[in-house]
């Protein structure tokens, strides 16, 4: 130990004052590793050599630990470290051939089956070569040296925590004992399009409004509280990395991923991203942090025609309004807040000074803009499958050449494949140097050390079961639901409704799977109103529309329309329903839907929701909570206005005549009467 301390002092890595302080012993979580004791302090012998290596010594600076471990890793171990793929729990068939069918009971056991597909998991088109989307767990850890995983499963917190502990125990038995890091898509929101790869949807975690709803709250303090609560839930079950949140802007109203954004305004989205990153990570990564992956650089919003770049018909981002820099603003905020990772999108820039290749291949975007100009020093994490599935602009390159170009551009870790073979061959063929590989692996190791995973990657299963989704957390989320609802119109001064009003409450949601999109709600636990079974019995009709374009992955490249009738709403039924009675229309906006098909004479009272609960909506209607929400984007006046919009320009800056309701609009009962 004296030699170690002398070495540190000679490098001026710690001060004499720091050496005089007794280090605080961290909690060591272990299953099979032996413990080394030095001066009454304990360390894990992760590489089983019965001596204290620098990377095992938690007293040393992270950089020293990283360099020591890097020097001990084989090339094969480094390459496995540069992949992040889906991992599956026992009984989990996410991304599999029967993913939409009946699901087995998910358990905390490992799924030991490789999942090899011959089709693109998003477009369902044939791949040029079979692709391993997920590896059998033990094989992935011990043979492919994988240590980064994406968990898609939606199951009980206890089960996730037990599985995460099993995974870390397996990693501990490996040659160097390097722990895993498990990522996930969002798990805390009410979401319409909860497709695999976008959101896990409604879970046992605390249930908050959708991302647009968080933005509509217009409450940065509560946004930070949301992120801190979610952080506690995630870390409690062993999820230490988020594939979120989207800093993309909702400037193209047809884009099929608007539901996951914080809206159209760059300055407001920057504020939201800053609070979310700080809430999940803290001011720096630590034992309780969840590392963020901010996406999709340099902004996925301005898609040509609103088509998404998961598909070849949507591979171009374009900037007809010359507002490229506007879309970068929220990413600057994420970088300033210390986001751990940034994910480039699949899109290829059209009509700019950049090379027309996907952003993961684009050196000017990653090296020149992100690294040099914006000063980002963290991890660049590709989106899922740019090498095998979405190689826009580099279709003519071999898989080896695609890896070469992406790594030269600055990508550190590749999402989507669990097979390191091609990347390993790329290095062995001399297309990429091992020195360049070391740069990426060092960044990835740094994140793990800072999160404290080398000391204790394990979680308390009992605590996880009690903490996730607890009543105190949900109470905060319930407030968020109420704050997220926007009062668009109250022209007839109908709201708030008087107590004991007879209300016919109908929801209309056609998800393409149920026989009847209509549900009549009669909440028994709401004493404010008398709920009735028919329109004829009612004093007031309340109808809640949930338009639905079918989801991102149902896209077929056809023109995207935002009229209600084009998004699974029977407009005739709705207009018949609201005629002849005082009516309240609530619309759930996962895109800026066009409302011009609704009977204008009957739409004097309109509310906007963004993934809210019925209880929250009724509290707004009754006045138990007065509306305070503000629109996170502009609602266009017509489909013609949508078709003529400039994709990179926020609706609030489109010409006069574009907007029915502008960004930031929102009434309350004090000012809206």
- What residues are labeled active site? 383
Are 417 and 82 a contacting pair, CB within 8 Å?
no
Q: How far apart are CA 633 and CA 155, in angstroms?
A: 33
CB 405 within 8 A of CB 361: yes
Matching residue, tokens 């988020």 = 242
Q: Which residues contact 495 (CB under 8 A, 6 or more apart)?
A: 487, 584, 605, 620, 621, 623, 669
Spell out a b/e string for 446-470, using b for 16 or more CB atoms within 10 Å of the CB, else e: bbbbbbbbbbbbbbebeebbebbbe
Q: What gap in Å lies between CA 441 and CA 632, rounded to an integer?
A: 38
C-alpha 193: how far from chain center: 13
Place of tokens 């925590």: 161
Where does 308-451 show beta strands of DSSP type E?
316-318, 341-344, 348-350, 379-384, 413-415
Integer Cα distance of 106 and 579 in angstroms: 48
Q: Are 411 and 342 in contact (CB under 8 A)?
A: no
Within a 10 A sphere around the Cβ of 530, how many other Cβ atoms?
A: 15
Beta strands 41-45; 83-87: pairing state: unpaired
Residue where the block lists tokens 């094969």: 76
CB neighbours (10 Å) of residue 623?
15
Task: Let me know: does 534 contact 504? Beta carbons within 8 Å.
Answer: yes
Q: Are 70 and 62 in contact (CB under 8 A)?
A: no
Question: Tokens 């609602």 map to which residue?
Answer: 635
In whole angstroms, what is the distance from residue 416 CA to residue 80 CA? 13
Cα separation, 567 vs 571, in Å, equals: 10
């Amino acid at each position: 130990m004296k030699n170690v301390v002398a070495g540190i002092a000679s490098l001026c890595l710690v001060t004499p004052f720091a050496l005089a302080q007794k280090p605080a012993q961290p909690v060591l979580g272990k299953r099979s590793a032996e413990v080394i004791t030095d001066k009454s302090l304990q360390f894990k012998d992760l590489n089983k050599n019965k001596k204290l290596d620098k990377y095992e010594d938690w007293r040393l600076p992270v950089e020293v630990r990283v360099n020591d471990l890097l020097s001990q890793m084989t090339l094969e171990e480094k390459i496995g470290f540069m992949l992040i793929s889906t991992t599956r729990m026992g009984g989990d068939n996410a991304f599999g051939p029967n993913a939409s069918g009946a699901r087995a009971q998910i358990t905390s056991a490992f799924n030991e089956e490789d999942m090899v597909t011959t089709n693109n998991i998003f477009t369902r088109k044939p791949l040029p070569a079979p692709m391993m989307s997920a590896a059998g767990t033990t094989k992935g850890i011990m043979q492919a040296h994988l240590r980064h995983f994406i968990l898609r499963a939606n199951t009980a917190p206890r089960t996730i925590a037990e599985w995460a502990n099993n995974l870390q125990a397996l990693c501990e038995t490996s040659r160097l004992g390097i722990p895993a890091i498990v990522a996930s898509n969002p798990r805390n929101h009410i979401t319409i399009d909860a497709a695999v790869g976008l959101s896990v949807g409604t879970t046992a975690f605390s249930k908050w409004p959708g991302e647009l709803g968080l933005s509509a709250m217009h409450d940065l303090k509560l946004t930070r509280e949301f992120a801190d609560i979610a952080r506690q839930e995630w870390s409690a079950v062993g999820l230490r990395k988020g594939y979120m949140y989207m800093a993309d802007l909702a400037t193209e109203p047809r884009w099929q991923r608007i539901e996951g954004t914080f809206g159209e305004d760059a300055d407001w989205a920057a504020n939201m991203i800053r609070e979310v990153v700080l809430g999940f990570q803290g001011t720096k990564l630590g034992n309780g942090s969840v590392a963020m992956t901010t996406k999709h650089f340099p902004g996925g919003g301005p898609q040509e025609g609103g088509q998404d770049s998961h598909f070849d018909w949507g591979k171009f981002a374009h900037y007809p309004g010359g507002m490229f820099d506007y879309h970068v603003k929220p990413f600057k905020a994420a970088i300033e807040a210390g986001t751990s990772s940034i994910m480039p999108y699949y899109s290829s820039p059209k009509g700019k000074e950049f090379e027309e290749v996907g952003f993961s291949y684009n050196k000017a975007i990653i090296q020149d803009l992100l690294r040099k100009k914006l000063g980002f020093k963290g991890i660049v994490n590709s989106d899922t499958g740019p090498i095998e599935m979405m190689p826009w602009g580099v279709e003519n390159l071999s898989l080896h050449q695609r890896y070469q170009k992406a790594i030269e551009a600055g990508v550190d870790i590749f999402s989507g494949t669990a097979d390191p073979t091609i990347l390993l061959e790329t290095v062995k063929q001399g297309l990429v140097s091992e020195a360049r590989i070391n740069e990426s692996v060092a960044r990835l190791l740094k994140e793990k050390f800072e999160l404290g995973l080398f000391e204790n990657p394990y979680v308390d299963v009992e605590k996880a079961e009690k903490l996730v989704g607890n009543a105190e957390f949900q109470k905060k989320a319930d407030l968020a639901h109420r704050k997220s609802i926007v009062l668009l119109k109250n022209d007839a001064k109908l709201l708030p409704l008087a107590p004991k009003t007879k209300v016919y409450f109908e929801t209309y949601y056609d998800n393409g799977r149920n026989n009847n999109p209509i549900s009549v709600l009669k909440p028994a636990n709401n004493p404010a109103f008398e709920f009735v079974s028919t329109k004829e019995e009612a004093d007031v009709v309340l109808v809640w529309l949930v338009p639905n374009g079918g989801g991102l992955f149902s896209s077929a490249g056809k023109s995207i329309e935002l009229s209600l009738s084009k998004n699974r709403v029977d407009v005739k039924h709705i207009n018949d329903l609201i005629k002849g009675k005082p009516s309240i229309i609530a619309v759930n906006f996962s895109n800026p839907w066009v409302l011009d098909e609704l009977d204008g004479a009957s739409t004097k009272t309109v509310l906007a929701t963004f993934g809210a609960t019925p209880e929250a909506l009724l509290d707004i209607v009754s006045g138990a909570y007065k509306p305070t929400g503000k629109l996170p984007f502009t609602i266009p006046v017509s489909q013609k206005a949508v078709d003529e919009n400039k994709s990179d320009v926020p609706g609030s800056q489109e010409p006069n005549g574009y907007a029915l309701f502008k960004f930031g609009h929102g009434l309350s009962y004090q000012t809206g009467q």
